[in-house]
């Protein structure tokens, strides 16, 4: 007996949702980066939405000790 189109869609849809959900979760993420220049640090937040990056400056002109502490807090799993 041949399978109908609706039965095929009902069986494949949950698997496809799971597959694409994992892929988009990897594309939509947030990263934190620290850059040093002339002894001062700047901390940036990079938001990736559908593969495009937008950058936001969180702190600028701070010393290394404060920047490292801030990075530890930002990178901690919630």
SS3 33: strand
Residue 66 belongs to domain spanning: 5-75
* 71 burial level (CB within 10 Å; 0-12, 13-18, 19+): middle
Global pTM reads 0.63
- Whose tokens are 């939509």? That residue is 28
- For residue 31, what are the CA distances in angstroms to 14, 22, 25, 39, 45? 29, 18, 13, 23, 6
Encode pLDDT of 5-47 as tens digits: 888 888 888 887 777 766 666 677 889 999 999 999 999 999 9
The number of distinct structural domains making up the chain is 1
């Amino acid at each position: 007996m041949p399978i109908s189109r609706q039965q095929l869609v009902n069986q494949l849809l949950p698997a496809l949702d799971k597959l694409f959900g994992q892929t988009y979760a990897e594309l939509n993420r947030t990263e934190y980066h620290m850059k040093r220049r002339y002894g001062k640090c700047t901390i940036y937040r990079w938001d990736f939405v559908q593969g495009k990056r937008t950058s936001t400056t969180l702190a600028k002109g701070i010393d290394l000790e404060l920047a490292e502490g801030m990075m530890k807090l930002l990178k901690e799993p919630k």
